[in-house]
Structure 1
């Protein structure tokens, strides 16, 4: 919404009639001037004359004109109101026969804003974040050729931020739907070339060289600014690098005739190298330069020197306590210090020193380890660890270990075989799975630096590692979900207190060494009374010793490599698939998406996971729709070891029972299922200040009979703003069990659907430019449920309003959404 303030009130000169002569009054002169100027202008607008009229009038005036000594007549628009984040237009008028030499807008009072077009008749600014109604006064001043100046003031009163769009209706269209007043474009798609030499993507299964193309299943993303010289600039809104995760692939569309070399159920048996290398390289991370044109449109730069693909084959280093551990030793790295690549990269994290944290999620299924043949070769301790992490696939997800490479010395495919076939761990790849499941730090500005796996943060199905707010002198923390049913929420607290100057260090990965390689990993326990504790996972403390009868821990590297087992041992709370974490930039409160849990029952429901219910057409009782939990650290510090919590939002269809299922009172404008992606607006604009905006994205199968996956915007309040609620869950046998939980205030209209994706997609990945006026969103695996004989989506080719050919294959992509008037997105 653009708010324009204009005024057409008449000029008042204040002349008092006391002069006894018969000379003209000032008001008479002004009347004559207006009449004469209207003749000269031929109906030109006042705003145009403010810019162009001075020279025109100077040329037309008589040299003997006696009224050139009067000051210009100026108006500055009428006063008005708006809310934080809206684009405001100030419009002035000026009248003067002598010709205007200078004119400008200045701010007189109120929170400082940046005025665009301050030296023209029309200036704009984005309304700043405020906690209450706040007046801003602006002055327009014009000076003519005789040096006389006049000015006029206008007041704009700003109210706190509010959602500034009409909710998008649920739908199952094969396009991305955004609110009225917004425009979207497609920025980067699967297969788009990232070098000048890489050919355009044919999208027919014949494409190769995925190591130089934008990858598949784009997930979490983050924008890092660049200045005109190509250096880091955290304030840049028009040029930057976008770091994008690639979680997985839609293999049925990747090859000319679908995957070959597969057995029953799609399980790979003997894969051709030409297909396997494409699938491997489509995973990982893309770093692409993006730039905004003068017309506001965005594109990526195909031949940028910043462009980079990090794939499962890219060399990486192992850092932190597990570096050099016997658990990390392989035939590739007998010293246990190096590895290859990153895979199944889902959510992310960031650092104030300008690096990206990409997190490895469902990595275990990529490895071949048939238990019938490999279990007898393993120690009892190894079997406990392998079972806890699910390394038990007969062939691996895509059968990469079955490839016979043309280069017989290559181990790019052998490494996916995790069987103990050699005389020791350095003769095979039995420990290769131990090199995955970590948080990986990447320098987006320096493609020459190998990514570093930060083992101090623990090994799990890493959904993300989002930081708490940084405070000088305080040890920073990163919050991490382990995305699997009945897994845990973790927090890593650095051993090093934050030093503000480190944010601008030029050796960015050295800062990661400083803050991310040493510290304490904690796991959360949620108590029924709304309190909670962070339980340290430290070797030698409590049950984490060699004497443990379930799993004998050798050292801290063993504890971190098997963080799940350690969390089991200390008594952490089993959660409903902990996924993304997000931290409010103003309060420091942490939000956690608990996507769903098909194994949650009435008998196992607890205060922090309180629902087990029937949601037709499903016939099983579980937490089918998920919820969002939030946590406030004691003392509002990242160093705290205790916290309070409540449940901000219970996802549900609006038609479900309010008493025990739709506990948040959701309506058709904001009902949702399976919250996944989660992100607060940046603190550099109104969406991250005073009243931060929270984005919620879904990855759902329970609600897709009603709507495609979606993204919502919300103002979520604070921990404790609701109360307690008793939930009654009914088991399959008809018995009931009650659970008392902590519930946040009903979101009402402070939660609203902003976007709905195309058929078969997941909406995942969200960030903005620092000013909040450009929104980047990921659309993953459209048409995932189809195949070459039944292509269920043709997005993004459908987005332009045309009907694509029947053979067009869907592609994951990143889109750009902007408000038509240039204001902050969503406000």
Structure 2
């Protein structure tokens, strides 16, 4: 494909400079172009050609004036392309004096013609449901006003996956298909404020409250206008909001973490804490389509575990949230272990607190706890004797500083307001953030429940209908949830000035449901509402006292109503064309067959989680490769109480048994394991319209003997486009057990391909694009996570551009991926 340079496709928001005297040349788009001067020299008529991805198309039409010294314009091309690909129209003419020329579209779906008042015009082929003809007229006018014109027809077909599959590999770079370019933009430690030094990457750096955090996870693009206001359609300037889930602790310090005498140094712990949370970073595209971030932007922001937050919704002000820091239970500090995300049409960001429980120290205080407290703490895993990084052991220089003590959740004082026994209850929420207001206070939305939140993706918004958000709880044998607002959607709210107030309107009151997947391919949403057994004081396992009790202890409420245990429910994504909901189920090492005798930590297979097997070289049994389930709400309504479901894809190596393990018939070009990140193309470009593409990312340990983690692109069908299957699982003793399930249509080379392979020991997580789909943002998390400061196992991103110096420490980072011909990424 011929490379597009300059601003050939300019600003996709329609702000296009049409002054031909200053327009950027499109010559690099065309392998050979007729110039006006060359035509005059030759005395012949020239052709106007349509170039599709650099190829010249066949001739079809011409026209000429009858003047003795005529102007002659000729357009001699027709051709075909597919949605999302670039098209260049090139015209030329002879004349006796000054000449003007212009292109106009005369038929077909409307496109934005760039360079329309020059001999060459260009556009991106639009989304279509079937082969569709677009016609364009080229008109040249001489100095006397005489004009001549001709037309060209371009036939656009539906979008296809437009690249060759990337081979599995274990290289220390981000590998993408031929015809694409990878650029590293923001990395762990990059400064986000003027005057903050460049990152040394040797463990000596400090001030992470003003640097990019570690373990970048879910991300989302929020457009900015030239004047610095919200502009959803902007593809050249915007804010990238990214979660920072966790840390590679060993690389943050000169020789790794220390704890002399069992006490963590304050400086080390502060650095580790500040590396968590979120970043808001201004990104800009320059004239040559090169991307960079703006270090001193006033929009830049770090939200860390110390950032002030407020609680909204039914749990606000209850005893569950009262601590020595928040005696009235209305405020908190920060957010932690932020994994997947969600969005709102009023342009706020939803971040999800996932594996927060392990950060807390809590053991040895059972005598000071009630039976209900002990049940709740155990159900959420708040049982560590030290906490993940030992932050509670810090003895701060300022004795009034409780930012370390808060991680000690033991009941040691006279009441909850004298210690931090309730601090774990302040985490596990959906947090709403306004990315456009750098001093806005994040709001924790308690109506959406407390769990290991992985994603919170909205269903389709329809005026007059109550909107919904879909959420996975990322742990083995946990559940899928849906929150339905009490307030029907009013489209005008999408453009409200006070965005967090709109969040109050839709996110602070509603009904939380949990999913039950039935064996016949149907399902239902069970409400988690206080007042009717088993969600009341009569529940023997955990007597619920209020709706706030249910929302704080959502897992226990879901247990009580009989929700379906799933194989680690992670990201949710909603098809923007039909509203179908997709959920990644990463894996489950605690799944057993119907012939096994399960322990308390194991669950038998069910129709939506049907596999138990061994994937060599491991000898352990379970669903090690994961799968993707999808559902369609009855009536396509977010308010529905029932749905239909099937399994879109089963993760597996292509060498595994096709009858009972590789149920999707994956090949070497599309096999994968442990699906995690999930995202549909935006409906503002061809990748998210009619039949949207689905990006699928992996976080895998079972398949890393063959390849680093990866990202695939799919063109999925619809729920129930496959059929039923019966899987035969076996126990460890070899006893057979069958499980019926429902499978999606078998993917082909045209509907599922590997697009990207990441560097060594990374996870691929976080994906979004600009509204025009021509720039893709992808998160590369924890490369080299198994290394040491003295012997890193990856040097990425330094290795992306060549051999890195020995001992270079790896860094999580965001990459920008663009298609060299300027088209929509993936198509």
- Asked if TM exceeds 0.5, the reply is yes
| Residue 296 in structure 1 maps to residue 297 in structure 2 | no
- Give the superposition deviation at 1:807: 2.0
| Residue 380 in structure 1 maps to residue 379 in structure 2 | no
- Name the counterpart of 1:717: 717
Q: Distance in 1 between matches of 2:169 and 2:567?
A: 27
- Give the superposition deviation at 1:256: 0.6
Change (3 A) 1:559 1:147: same
- Contact kept, 8 Å, 2:39 with 2:45, in 1: the verdict is no
Which residue, out of 548, 555, 566, partners 1:557?
A: 548
Give 1:407-806 correspondences, 5 Å limit. Answer: 407-603=398-594, 604-749=604-749, 750-801=751-802, 803-806=803-806
- Contact kept, 8 Å, 2:173 with 2:758, in 1: the verdict is yes
Partner SS, residue 799 of structure 2: helix
Give 1:147-226 correspondences, 5 Å limit. Answer: 147-226=145-224
Q: Distance in 2 between matches of 1:37 and 1:220?
A: 53
Change (3 A) 1:38 1:273: closer
Change (3 A) 1:228 1:618: same
Change (3 A) 1:91 1:395: same
- Give the superposition deviation at 1:760: 0.5
| Residue 367 in structure 1 maps to residue 365 in structure 2 | no
Change (3 A) 1:563 1:746: same
Which residue, out of 240, 255, 276, partners 2:269?
A: 276
- Give the superposition deviation at 1:620: 1.6
- Contact kept, 8 Å, 1:586 with 1:689, in 2: the verdict is yes
Change (3 A) 1:278 1:44: farther
Q: Distance in 2 between matches of 1:500 and 1:78?
A: 44
CA RMSD of aligned residues (A): 1.8
- Give the superposition deviation at 1:561: 0.5
- Give the superposition deviation at 1:190: 0.1
- Give the superposition deviation at 1:45: 11
Give 1:23-102 correspondences, 5 Å limit. Answer: 41=41, 70-100=69-99, 102=100
- Contact kept, 8 Å, 1:2 with 1:88, in 2: the verdict is no
- Give the superposition deviation at 1:98: 3.0
Q: Distance in 1 between matches of 2:567 and 2:627?
A: 8
Which residue, out of 304, 313, 324, partners 1:331?
A: 324
Per-residue deviation, residues 53-94 of structure 1 (Å, max 9, x unmatched): xxxxxxxxxxxxx99764421122410000000111111121
- Contact kept, 8 Å, 1:70 with 1:148, in 2: the verdict is no
Per-residue deviation, residues 550-581 of structure 1 (Å, max 9, x unmatched): 11111111100000000000000000000000
| Residue 317 in structure 1 maps to residue 306 in structure 2 | no
Which residue, out of 102, 105, 109, partners 1:104?
A: 102
- Name the counterpart of 2:344: 351
Change (3 A) 1:84 1:453: same
- Name the counterpart of 2:16: none
Q: Distance in 1 between matches of 2:42 and 2:728?
A: 77
Change (3 A) 1:188 1:77: farther
Change (3 A) 1:48 1:327: same
Q: Distance in 1 between matches of 2:518 and 2:820?
A: 47
Ranges in structure 1 where 5+ consecutive residues have no aligned partner: 5-33, 50-65, 264-268
Give 1:247-258 correspondences, 5 Å limit. Answer: 247-258=245-256
- Give the superposition deviation at 1:804: 1.3
- Contact kept, 8 Å, 1:524 with 1:533, in 2: the verdict is yes
- Contact kept, 8 Å, 2:582 with 2:629, in 1: the verdict is yes
Q: Distance in 2 between matches of 1:228 and 1:249?
A: 35
TM-score, structure 1 length as denominator?
0.92
Higher Cα Rg, which structure: 1
Per-residue deviation, residues 136-162 of structure 1 (Å, max 9, x unmatched): 001101110010001100100010000
Partner SS, residue 772 of structure 2: coil
Q: Distance in 2 between matches of 1:68 and 1:293?
A: 47
Change (3 A) 1:141 1:622: same
Per-residue deviation, residues 253-288 of structure 1 (Å, max 9, x unmatched): 00011100179xxxxx31000100000000000000
- Give the superposition deviation at 1:770: 0.2
- Name the counterpart of 1:119: 117
- Contact kept, 8 Å, 1:76 with 1:90, in 2: the verdict is no
Q: Distance in 2 between matches of 1:715 and 1:480?
A: 23
- Contact kept, 8 Å, 1:3 with 1:82, in 2: the verdict is no
| Alignment coverage as a number of residue pairs | 772
Partner SS, residue 312 of structure 1: coil
- Name the counterpart of 1:406: 397
- Give the superposition deviation at 1:37: 7.7
Partner SS, residue 105 of structure 1: strand
Q: Distance in 2 between matches of 1:811 and 1:48?
A: 50
- Name the counterpart of 1:137: 135
- Give the superposition deviation at 1:447: 1.1
Q: Distance in 1 between matches of 2:162 and 2:524?
A: 39
- Name the counterpart of 1:53: none
- Contact kept, 8 Å, 2:3 with 2:822, in 1: the verdict is no
- Name the counterpart of 2:597: none
- Contact kept, 8 Å, 2:3 with 2:821, in 1: the verdict is no
Q: Distance in 2 between matches of 1:782 and 1:499?
A: 44
Change (3 A) 1:363 1:606: same
- Give the superposition deviation at 1:602: 1.6
Q: Distance in 1 between matches of 2:316 and 2:38?
A: 81
Change (3 A) 1:44 1:3: farther
Partner SS, residue 427 of structure 1: coil
Question: 4+ runs of 1 displaced by more than 3 Å?
Answer: 1-4, 36-49, 66-71
- Give the superposition deviation at 1:46: 5.6
TM-score, structure 2 length as denominator?
0.92
Per-residue deviation, residues 161-196 of structure 1 (Å, max 9, x unmatched): 000000000000000001000001001000000001
Per-residue deviation, residues 213-233 of structure 1 (Å, max 9, x unmatched): 000000000000000000000
- Give the superposition deviation at 1:541: 2.5
- Name the counterpart of 1:17: none
Change (3 A) 1:67 1:675: closer
- Contact kept, 8 Å, 2:45 with 2:74, in 1: the verdict is no
Q: Distance in 2 between matches of 1:225 and 1:247?
A: 24
- Give the superposition deviation at 1:789: 2.7
Change (3 A) 1:533 1:97: same
Q: Distance in 2 between matches of 1:767 and 1:365?
A: 29
Q: Distance in 1 between matches of 2:482 and 2:496?
A: 25
Per-residue deviation, residues 566-600 of structure 1 (Å, max 9, x unmatched): 00000000000000000000110000000000011
Change (3 A) 1:542 1:69: farther
- Contact kept, 8 Å, 2:473 with 2:480, in 1: the verdict is yes
